[in-house]
Amino acid sequence: MPSSVIRSYHYDPARRALSVVFQSQRRYTYIDVPAETYAAMKAAFSKGEFFNRHIRDKFTFRRDDEGPPSTPRSSADTPPPRRDRTPPRQSRHSHRDGPA
């Protein structure tokens, strides 16, 4: 069944690394994932539900376009942190603008 959360995933048994591409196009690699966990994910009816219960917040991960791995988070209900890279918007009016 297609997932509304996960676009694709791949497991490297030699590295015990699970790469997950989400529908948002963000790619994460989860480190030290047992082959049994990957096999269970493959067999799961809902990949997203399995991921949230058994992988998210359980394994060290890295976002593939970033640097070193992050440690698991404490809450399974919290999505990966958003790192907005857009600069803050500037006001169209300067402090000098105002009543004449």
Per-residue pLDDT tens digits for 65-90: 765 556 665 544 455 555 555 555 55
3-class DSSP state for residue 49? Answer: helix
H-type alpha helices, the chain? 35-43, 47-54
Name the burial class of residue 9, with classes exposed (0-12), middle (13-18) and buried (19+) by CB atoms within 10 angstroms of its CB: buried
Q: Is the pLDDT of residue 63 over 70?
A: yes
DSSP state of 58: T
| Helix pair angle (47-54, 35-43), 10° resolution | 150
Please tell me the pTM assigned to this model.
0.65
* Structure tokens that stand for 63 in this block: 């976002």
**How far apart, in whole angstroms, are the C-alpha atoms of residue 35 and residue 50?**
15
The arithmetic mean of pLDDT across residues 16-31, rounded, is 96
* Structure tokens that stand for 61 in this block: 């991960």
Split at pLDDT 50, 70, 90, the class of 93 is: very low
